[in-house]
Structure 1
Amino acid sequence: MQVIRIIAAILLPPLGIFLTYGLGPTLLVNILLTLLGWVPGIIHALWAIAKHEEVAKRQETA
């Protein structure tokens, strides 16, 4: 599932965020960034997905 999210984040950044976070403020921020420019949307999506995975791994080990 991680690979699908990353590919979605590159092709359509809001889709990658939606698959990771669902509906919420992160998705709205990403839609705004994507409308302002494709690259900011991609950067935000990749960062948010990586951060989500990092938090999930940290919770597994705790």
Structure 2
Amino acid sequence: MVEVILAILLPPLAVFLHDGLGTSFWINIILTLLFFIPGVIHALLVVTDTI
């Protein structure tokens, strides 16, 4: 539940707490810096283990 809230507010932090410094983290950093909404969507997918 906390990771889902973090995924909405701070997407890279949520991905980092869930997966660590892996590929998903760096993809999320790029998505969040370019456009915030795709970063949130990616973080939600990672945190809920959809991808």
Query: Is the shorter-chain TM-score for this pair beyond 0.5, marking a shared fold?
Result: yes
* In 2, Cα distance between equivalents of 1:47 and 1:26: 10
Following superposition of structure 1 onto structure 2, how do residues 31-50 of structure 1 map, counting pairs within 5 Å?
Answer: 31-50=29-48
* Structure 1 unmatched runs, 5+: 53-62
Structure with greater proportional helix content: 1
- Structure 2 alignment gaps of length 5 or more: none
TM-score with structure 1 length normalisation?
0.76
Identify which of structures 1 and 2 has the higher relative contact order when contacts are C-alpha pairs closer than 8 Å and 6+ apart.
2
Tell me how far apart the structure 1 counterparts of residues 2 and 16 of structure 2 sit (CA, whole Å).
Answer: 12
TM-score w.r.t. structure 2 length? 0.91
Runs of 4+ off more than 2 Å: none
RMSD: 1.0
Identity value in percent: 50
Aligned length: 50
* Structure 1: distance between partners of 2:32 and 2:21: 16
